[in-house]
Amino acid sequence: MLFDQKTNIDTGGGAPLSLPANYESKVTAPRNPTLNRGPKIEPKFTPSTFLKEMSLDTQQKLLNTREMYLPKIIALSDMSETSLQTTSKVDIDEPLFQPYPSDITFQKYEPFNTYDVPLLLRNNDKVARIVKVSQVDTPYFTIVAPPNAYQKVAPGVALVFHIQFKPEEQRDYAHEILVATEREKFLLPVRAIGARAILDFPDSITFSTTAVKSTNMSKVLFVRNIGNREARFVLQINKPFHVSPENGLLPVGESMQVTIDFNPIVNGEMKDELVIIYDTGEKVYVNVYGVAQDINVRLEKRSIHFENTYLEMINQRTVTLSNRSDQLVHFQWKHYPSEREEEQQKLRQLHALSEEEVSALQKLNVNTSESPSAGPFDFGVLIQRTFINHRRQLTNESYLFTHSNFRIDPLEGDLWPGGSLDIQVLFKPNEARKYEQTAWLDVVGREQRLPLTLTGEGEGAKLEASFQTLDIGCVYVGSTHLYEVVLANKGFIEARYQILNGNSIFGSCFQFDPSSGTISIENYQAIQITFHSEQLGQFNEIFNVEIEGNPRALPITISGQVIGPTFYFDQAQLKFGLVSYGFQTTLGCHLYNTSLVPMPFKLHIDQERNKKHNHLVSFDDDEDEEEDTINSNEFQIRPSRGIIPPQSDTKIYVDFIPKSIQKYDTFLQVDIDGVGKNIFSLPITA
């Protein structure tokens, strides 16, 4: 018998059983365990160490436990109530009795058998102390106390209790033991580890050196459940590694296939851990190691320049992609230089799409409130479905290279080991300007995307004018002049042109016919220029011939001067001499129009300078004045107005009837319609 008749069980209070004096345990604790005052660190199991750990029985588990930890104190007691020694050399955060083991573990057991683990409580103080051990009632765990359990324990001496475990089935059990010293109370955990699933993964998985961005590097493992329980597990690993399946269920003795992929996107050594998480809480770690590097995949050149290319015409160049490695590589031409920029662009577009959806739904709510019969639910669902489709398309967007003027063919493909591929690059400009764009080659075997800079210049239609500057000299006001400029198409595409009239005073006096049109290749177009001005002055007008698709217009400069008609009198002055008072005297002269345009004229006497000089006497009844103006009725001009044909003349008569005795000194002034007033003055004296 294990216990004699003196042994008793207090089932009500959980007190320990008394241990017979001749009791000998078959389980012994290791000597000189190490005290670790830090927090307990859970062991990190590899598949082999986990298998080894689960194969230990209770005695072997205890023999391998060579560290003990400070228990967590849950309460402090008043030492004066139980002892006369109220001071202690042991720190307050450490117990007076150090337990070993720090937690009690049973494993690899069979139902209805009894298993025993010794619990050592060593007095760490400098004086004798009392310790008590108790537990909550349980049919599975029993505390067996030594004969001297209720006596004081000498300093440095260990009191040995025995924890007995009698399971009813192969499952996990959890329990706690309360240890009370004269100063504190603390709990010791007791657990029993039942049946466990064990997957026979290797401790480490090593991938051979592969090309960066490679997607065909995989390891296939056949894993067997060598434990004694059905395996319910989850597999976790970080990028660039991937595991499949990510979870599973495997009966005892069965096998399954697990695939681990290595998809590196950067160069260098990569390490991670495949974590096997069992449904019983254990975590097992498998070291995974891989190396990625660049391989010999390159572009023949990094830039392509297209010579001047006419609008809407296509220019073609070729660039060679070479694969000098022993791996099949996949390539794609991308719009952005890195995957990070692609993700940022995608996030921006998704954000903008969300704002657009919110705005559309808000507008729908406003319209619905104004018209309740519009059916808001159906329209709202339709809007949401539309934006869901947009998001799905955006999520799957690969951002392949696209450009309105450059095209690459093929955009993606595979290149066999040791092979090369000619990639066609097309350039089609739609404006006469310089173009520059970079395409990025994302290829397996190169960490960084390879840039290909595309440059070209679009060349529009070429027109040449028969002259670029025209000086028309002096032209008469009101006259119409015709000129001609010839536009020649010197390019290889038809030219569509347009000449816009100027907005200046003289610019609006020009007319071009035709002002717009199309000139075919190697053809000409004569344009008639009509000039008619009613204004005088010099001008220097620039007319731009706008050519469709060409930002550089063809300038035509026309300069000149608009002058009035030229004329003269055949006499330098009209001298009436000494005339009789009150009698008419007539003098005549010729007015010649020497210009090539009709000259409308008007003649009148100058009213500013017709002052009386040498006033003698006046026979009028008016009061004498020191200065009297000449009466305009004294001079009569025949004709006073008219139009003189080009290069012709007309006879002008001036009748003079003096009405005062004085010396006359005035002018016959000429006004030209459309030119100005007082253009010429012919002196008159009498």
Contact status, residue 289 vs residue 269, Cβ threshold 8 Å:
yes
Contact status, residue 200 vs residue 51, Cβ threshold 8 Å:
yes
Burial of 614 (0-12, 13-18, 19+ CB in 10 A): exposed
pLDDT in tens, 529-561: 998 887 888 888 888 888 887 778 888 898 998
Burial of 576 (0-12, 13-18, 19+ CB in 10 A): middle
Instruction: Look at residues 35, 58, 56, 25 and name the one whose alpha carbon lies nearest to residue 162.
Output: 25
Burial of 64 (0-12, 13-18, 19+ CB in 10 A): exposed
Residue 7 has pLDDT above 50, yes or no: no
In the prediction, which pLDDT does 427 show? Answer: 93
pLDDT in tens, 70-80: 888 888 887 77
In the prediction, which pLDDT does 371 show? Answer: 54
pLDDT in tens, 278-295: 998 899 999 999 999 988
What gap in Å lies between CA 64 and CA 107, rounded to an integer?
A: 13
Query: What is the Rg, in whole angstroms, of the alpha carbon atoms belonging to the chain?
Result: 58
Instruction: Look at residues 291, 284, 249, 289 and name the one whose alpha carbon lies nearest to residue 268.
Output: 291
Mean pLDDT, the chain, whole residue set: 82
pTM above 0.85, yes or no: no
Amino acid at 553: A
Cα angle, residue 639 at apex, residues 633 and 643 outer, rounded to 5° = 140
Per-residue burial over 145-159, b = 16 or more CB atoms within 10 Å of its CB, e = otherwise: bbeebeebbeeeebb
Instruction: Look at residues 125, 140, 119 and name the one whose alpha carbon lies nearest to residue 94.
Output: 125
pLDDT in tens, 369-412: 555 554 445 666 776 677 777 777 767 777 888 888 999 999 99
Tell me the domains of the chain and their CATH numbers: 17-193 (2.60.40.10), 204-293 (2.60.40.10), 301-458 (2.60.40.10), 463-563 (2.60.40.10), 567-685 (2.60.40.10)
367 three-class SS: helix
Q: Which token pair is 428?
A: 């089609």
Q: How confident is the model at residue 608 (pLDDT cuts 50, 70, 90)?
A: low
* Local structure of residue 374 (DSSP, 8 states): G
